[in-house]
């Protein structure tokens, strides 16, 4: 598969997406309060700047409702323009037996909240591989896809071993959403090549480490827990601690700053560009605290430059000093299990 440096990506035969997706975990409440009207106004700003693809989940607070309201207001521009919006949700069921009824009910709730007759993409998460009910869930999802309620099926946080198990089920999954950043390069080890073989892509999250991978934290002393005021900052600070610690992270930020200055872009741009350029990666999801903070014009710069061999040579020696996250945590998604 050839991924170009362009802004759009032909994700499936019938769906193109923006390669930088807007992540909606940031409206869940775990990243501070969100004011719905301001948030939805800002969704128009993202869309009009070309960031037309949203990543959300059934459990991200009001995220699915925001998509519903955004679509209702967007329809004033002409209902025929609604397909300009791509909304990729997730279904994250509680562990336990999965019946067709449970899947029906969950998907119907998402359809109704998002105000659509067919979900563009449902990304499935499962907590416990010892419980093989996930295979029942996948079959029920495939049935709903055949019935027209879901356009495409996908996974999130599945490891390579289970991707192989799932590949045997003869159900087509278009992507797996995993953590992928300069700090967490686990997908490069096994998963990317498996995805390449299966014509499956990766959607990456955590590329900006919740905002830690930016000028804001360059040269800063190690932040304490009280300073890390979003769920995302706490999650990724923990990841940095496992990876190599704050001093090594500062070395990485310094190296990235040099590269950013050369290209006249930001450290965040380098972090996103790096992940976008990895094999099998279709898109990078960047969290958006809608109505609170936005980085639309900065993130647009990601599409205006490429990293060269000198840039990669400046990053690699720093990354080489880090610990092996596969050994310490396991394959992608094992941090959740």
Residues that bind ligand NAP (CB under 6 A): 23-26, 55, 156-157, 177, 205-211, 214, 232, 266, 268, 285-287, 289, 293, 295, 298-299
Q: Please, which residue, 228 or 255, has the CB nearer to ligand NAP?
A: 228
Write a three-state SS string for the chain.
CCCCCCCEEEEECCEEEECEEEECHHHCCECECCCHHHHHHHHHHHHHCCCCEEECCCCCCCHHHHHHHHHHHHHHHCHHHHHHCEEEEEECCCCCCCCHHHHHHHHHHHHHHHCCCCEEEEEECCCCCCCCHHHHHHHHHHHHHHCCCEEEEEEECCCHHHHHHHHCCCCCEEEEEEECCCCCCHHHCCHHHHHHHHCCEEEEECCCHHHCCCHHHCCCCCCCCCCCCCHHHHHHHHHHHHHCCHHHHHHHHHHHHHHHHHHCCCHHHHHHHHHHCCCCEEEEEEECCCCCCCCHHHHHHHHHCCCCHHHHHHHHHHHCCCCCHHHHCCCCCHHHC
Minimum distance from CB of 158 to ligand NAP (Å)? 10
Q: How far is the CB of 86 from ligand NAP (least distance, A)?
A: 13
Whole-angstrom distance, CA of residue 63 vs CA of residue 113:
9
* Residue 121 CB, nearest approach to ligand NAP (Å): 12
Nearer to ligand NAP, 153 or 208 (CB): 208
| Between 77 and 286, CB nearer to ligand NAP | 286
Closest CB 287 distance from ligand NAP, rounded Å: 3
Minimum distance from residue 49 beta carbon to ligand NAP (Å): 13
CB of 209 to ligand NAP, least distance (A): 5
Q: In whole angstroms, how close is the CB of 146 to ligand NAP at the nearest point? A: 25
Nearer Cβ to ligand NAP (258/317): 258
| Minimum CB distance to ligand NAP smaller for 2 or for 297 | 297
Write the CB contacts of 93 (distance below 8 Å, at least 6 apart in sequence): 102, 106, 126, 137
Quote the least distance from Cβ 95 to ligand NAP, whole Å: 16
Residue 105 burial (CB count, 10 A): 10
Between residues 143 and 294, which has the closer beta carbon with respect to ligand NAP?
294
Q: For ligand NAP, which is the closer residue by CB, 80 or 241?
A: 241
Q: For residues 24 and 117, which CB has a smaller minimum distance to ligand NAP in the complex? A: 24
Beta-bridge partners for 204: 178, 284
């Amino acid at each position: 598969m050839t991924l170009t440096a362009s802004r759009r990506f032909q994700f499936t035969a019938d769906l193109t997406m923006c390669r930088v997706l807007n992540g909606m975990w940031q409206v869940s409440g775990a990243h501070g309060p969100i004011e719905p009207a301001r948030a939805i106004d800002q969704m128009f700003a993202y869309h009009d700047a070309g960031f037309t693809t949203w990543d959300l989940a059934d459990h991200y607070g009001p995220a699915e409702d925001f998509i519903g309201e955004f679509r209702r207001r967007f329809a004033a521009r002409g209902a025929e323009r609604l397909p300009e919006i791509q909304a990729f949700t997730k279904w994250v069921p509680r562990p336990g037996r999965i019946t067709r009824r449970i899947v029906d009910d969950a998907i119907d709730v998402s359809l109704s909240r998002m105000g659509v007759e067919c979900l563009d993409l449902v990304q499935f998460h499962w907590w416990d591989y010892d419980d093989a009910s996930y295979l029942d869930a996948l079959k029920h999802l495939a049935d709903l896809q055949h019935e027209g309620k879901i356009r495409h099926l996908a996974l999130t946080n599945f490891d390579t071993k289970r991707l192989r198990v799932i590949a045997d089920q003869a159900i087509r999954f278009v992507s797996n959403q995993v953590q992928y950043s300069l700090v967490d390069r686990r997908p490069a080890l096994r998963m990317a090549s498996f995805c390449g073989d299966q014509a499956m892509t990766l959607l990456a999250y955590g590329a900006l480490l919740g905002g830690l991978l930016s000028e804001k934290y360059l040269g800063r002393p190690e932040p304490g827990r009280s300073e890390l005021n979003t769920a995302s900052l706490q999650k990724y600070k923990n990841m940095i601690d496992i990876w190599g610690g704050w001093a090594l992270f500062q070395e990485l930020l310094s190296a990235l700053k040099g590269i950013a200055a050369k290209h006249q872009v930001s450290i965040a741009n380098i972090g996103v560009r790096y992940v976008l350029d990895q094999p099998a990666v279709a898109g990078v999801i960047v969290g958006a605290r809608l109505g609170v903070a936005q980085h639309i014009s900065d993130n647009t710069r990601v599409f205006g430059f490429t990293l060269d061999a000198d840039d990669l040579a400046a990053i690699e020696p720093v990354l080489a000093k880090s610990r092996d996250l596969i050994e310490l945590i396991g394959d992608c998604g094992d941090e959740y299990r």
